[in-house]
Amino acid sequence: MPITLQDVALRAGVSKSAVSRTFTPGASVSAKTRAKVEAAAKELGYMPNVLASSLTTGRTALIGLISNNFTNPYFLEIFDLFTRALQKAELRPLLINLSAEEDASRSLSMLRQYNVDGVIVASSTLPPDFAKVFHDAGIPVVHAFGWSSDTPGTGRVSIDNTEAGHLAAVTLIDRGYRRVGFLGGPQSAATTSDRLDGFCAGLKAHGLSPEIQFATAYSYEAGRVAMTRALDAAPQVEAWFCGDDVIAIGAMDAAVAQGRRIPDNLGLIGLNDMRMAGWDRVGLTTIRQPAPQIVAASVDLIRKGIADPATLPQRVLLPCTLVERRTLRAKP
């Protein structure tokens, strides 16, 4: 027979409510009572039923972790970081794939069925109305790895994507490139437009402007197709800033297939510093997003938002850095 809360209370010589308070985060219970209850629970092998306790506290500790970037290997790394960070914070991730979802209200209905305490949107391409619908329903929302000014009242954690674009421009100029291009992700993504704005601003200061192409998705195949098109349309470009590593890796293979040697006669720089970028065969020079720090800040922010929703309307910007590998030529 399973050990019950009543069994623990009898063994500890306390009331059932004292046992319940002991296993309820933030509940008031004396140190002496807590010690007796924990000792009795250990002796009996009792584990609290978190689903039952949620009926009492009104909290499930469930966090909806939602994205539509499941085809991008970088986001699989991010989901690994998020699930471990949430579990360490005694929160339970509910992973939801919105790749084929177009109706935000349907997603809200799903989250409400599980009575989630909060939502983390981990995407740079999810339409802003998704986060807005969750927020308007009274669910604390944090948007990680992307942001939109159209989503008021939410927490936002990301790098400064405009600064990342500027860093890419400065890096290419320092290597002596003058005919450069931008190969971004989906044109509708706020991160894409911000990275392009920063890139253009950095080039304009030197009297330059880029060729511009967009991939249809943050994916290898989209990057390969877009670079094939870009090489046909602008063969004079000496180096491309790809707004995402997986796009850059697709672009690299497309360039090699057309006889380009990297970095001898074509330079590439990516963004993210996903694990694959450091593989020996790839060796992609890129701009690193500090993913562990973004995840940690997002989890901290959602915890604060659950405790007090008024804390969420804030934006956390973290620095990005250049990671030198082999896809750009050396400084002249």
pLDDT tens per residue, range 207-246: 999 999 999 999 999 999 999 999 999 999 999 999 999 9
Res. 84: pLDDT tops 60? yes
What percent of the chain is predicted at pLDDT more than 70? Answer: 91
pTM of the model: 0.83
List, in order, residues 6 or more apart from 210 with CB less than 8 Å away: 180, 181, 182, 199, 200, 203, 241
**pLDDT for 152:** 65
Percent helix / strand / coil, the chain, rounded to 5: 45, 15, 40
Most confident listed range (75-84, 93-102, 133-142): 75-84
Q: What is the pLDDT confidence band of residue 69, given thresholds at 50, 70 and 90?
A: confident
* 60 or 65, greater pLDDT: 65
DSSP, collapsed to helix, strand or coil, labels residue 150 as coil
Domains and their CATH numbers in the chain: 5-57 (1.10.260.40), 62-159+290-320 (3.40.50.2300), 161-289 (3.40.50.2300)
Among 225, 332, 327, 221, which Cα is nearest to 278's? 327
Tokens coding 107: 């997603």
**pLDDT for 22:** 86
DSSP, collapsed to helix, strand or coil, labels residue 88 as helix
Let me know: does 14 contact 36? Beta carbons within 8 Å: yes
